[in-house]
């Protein structure tokens, strides 16, 4: 190559390098592509795009608590359920957790429990106990204190809970929802129909042996639900009725839906759980050899629930100790077993009782 006569060889080399640099910026800059201009906005038709969606705090919490089949156990607590009052020996949350410790095949289930806290005190206590915690914030609402059954604040908190659980379903998670006033004495998954055909399995206050919704009084304090289009549509319809259900708790609205054709409309498979296995203070299980959970339903105040659930765990411990000590008499021991009277909850309905 001949150099221009008026430029020395070194200068020619510099010009060449500058030209190459300019071409690199114009053509190979990372801000440009080699695709034609009209294809810049769309990926190539045969190109598989790998997406890395940002997981929010709830998704991470659900993922951490999930079983392999995307099932979690969810409970909601506020300050009144985690703080010990002056005249109480324990808290509702402590009793709830103690039941997992004392129950049969229940301890491993704590790994799949997600405790949803609706105020900062409850969240701090959850973190202190090293549980899986998710802080559910509701702007402008204080859910901290005791929400007396059927009070305006109680109803508002129940509807907020329903909206949250709808979000969980939409994320593809199945779940058992449990109130913390439910004692887990045995692993409920053993008693639930988990063959993939039941959409909703829900507890009842009294069991009449009839599968029809109009013959059962459901209780949303304990139920298992699968995430699918049918159950998401059910929760959508359920929550949409909130503003037209003044002074009615969400449980009553769901019962109306079940009794007025939504089961057939959405082709839902609903099972009502026998109180023999999933019992409560409304109707005690008479078969302690089969009982799985005990719910402090038909009770108005937290103090009364704590008192009577403490007695439930005491009864359970005495039963287990007796069976362990006298294994040959186990059948007679369980056959003659009776729960302590739920006097605290019975008295909670009396006027001016706290």
Would you state the pLDDT for residue 152? 66
Cα–Cα distance measured from residue 119 to residue 128, given in angstroms and rounded to the nearest whole number:
14
Q: What is the pLDDT of residues 300-327, one digit of tens each?
A: 889 999 999 999 999 999 999 999 999 9
**Which of 205, 192, 182 has its CA nearest to residue 255?**
205
Region of 91 on the Ramachandran plot (φ > 0 left; ψ -120 to 50 alpha; else beta): beta
Positions in the chain short of pLDDT 70: 1-53, 139-154, 246, 352-354
pLDDT at 229: 96
- Predicted local confidence at residue 105, as pLDDT: 97
Which fold does the domain 57-276 belong to in CATH?
Spore Coat Polysaccharide Biosynthesis Protein SpsA; Chain A (3.90.550)
pLDDT given for residue 142 in this prediction: 53
Q: What is the pLDDT of residue 9?
A: 52
Query: Residue 331's pLDDT is what?
Result: 92
Counting Cβ atoms within 10 Å, is residue 41 exposed (0-12), middle (13-18) or buried (19+)?
exposed
Q: Which tens digits make up the pLDDT trace of 62-98?
A: 999 999 999 999 999 999 899 877 777 899 999 999 9
Q: How many helices (H) and strands (E) does the chain have?
A: 12, 10
Residue 308's pLDDT is: 97
Q: What DSSP assignment string belongs to 275-299?
A: TTTEEETTB--S-TTT--EEE--S-
Neighbours of 100 (CB within 10 A): 18
Q: What are the sequence ranges of the domains in the chain?
A: 57-276
User: What residue ranges in the chain does DSSP mark as E strands?
Assistant: 71-77, 113-117, 132-135, 174-178, 182-184, 200-204, 218-225, 270-273, 278-280, 293-295
Query: Which stretches of 167-264 are assigned E, i.e. beta strand?
Result: 174-178, 182-184, 200-204, 218-225
Whose CA is closest to 310, among 345, 349, 282, 348? 345
Dist CA 112 CA 62 (whole Å): 9
Determine the Cα–Cα distance for residues 279 and 297; give it in Å rounded to an integer.
9
């Amino acid at each position: 190559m001949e150099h221009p006569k008026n430029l020395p060889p070194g200068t020619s080399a510099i010009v060449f390098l500058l030209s190459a640099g300019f071409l690199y910026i114009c053509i190979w800059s990372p801000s440009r592509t080699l695709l034609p201009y009209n294809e810049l906005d769309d990926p190539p038709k045969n190109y598989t795009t790998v997406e890395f969606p940002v997981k929010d705090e709830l998704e991470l919490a659900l993922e951490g608590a999930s079983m392999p089949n995307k099932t979690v156990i969810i409970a909601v607590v506020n300050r009144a359920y985690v703080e010990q009052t002056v005249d109480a020996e324990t808290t509702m949350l402590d009793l709830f957790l103690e039941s997992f410790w004392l129950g049969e095949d229940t301890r491993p289930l704590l790994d799949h429990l997600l405790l949803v806290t609706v105020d900062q005190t409850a969240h701090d206590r959850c973190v202190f106990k090293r549980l899986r915690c998710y802080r559910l914030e509701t702007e402008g609402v204080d859910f901290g204190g005791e929400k007396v059954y059927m009070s305006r604040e109680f109803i508002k908190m129940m509807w907020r809970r329903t909206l949250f659980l709808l979000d969980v379903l939409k994320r593809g998670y199945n779940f058992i929802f449990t109130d913390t006033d439910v004692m887990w004495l045995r692993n409920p998954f053993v008693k639930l129909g988990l063959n993939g055909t039941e959409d909703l399995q829900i507890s009842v206050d009294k069991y009449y042996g009839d599968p029809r919704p109009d013959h059962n009084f459901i209780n949303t304090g304990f139920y298992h639900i699968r995430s699918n289009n049918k159950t998401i549509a059910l929760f959508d319809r359920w929550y949409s009725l909130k503003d037209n259900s003044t002074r009615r708790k969400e449980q009553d609205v769901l019962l109306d839906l079940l009794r007025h054709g939504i089961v057939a409309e959405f082709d839902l498979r609903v099972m009502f759980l026998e109180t023999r296995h999933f019992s409560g203070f409304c109707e005690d299980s008479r078969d302690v050899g089969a009982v799985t959970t005990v719910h402090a339903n038909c009770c108005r105040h937290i103090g009364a629930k704590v008192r009577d659930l403490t007695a439930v765990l005491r009864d359970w411990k005495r039963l287990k100790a007796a069976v362990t000590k006298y294994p040959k008499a186990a059948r007679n021991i369980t056959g003659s077993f009776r729960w302590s009277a739920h006097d605290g909850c019975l008295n909670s309905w009396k006027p001016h009782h706290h």
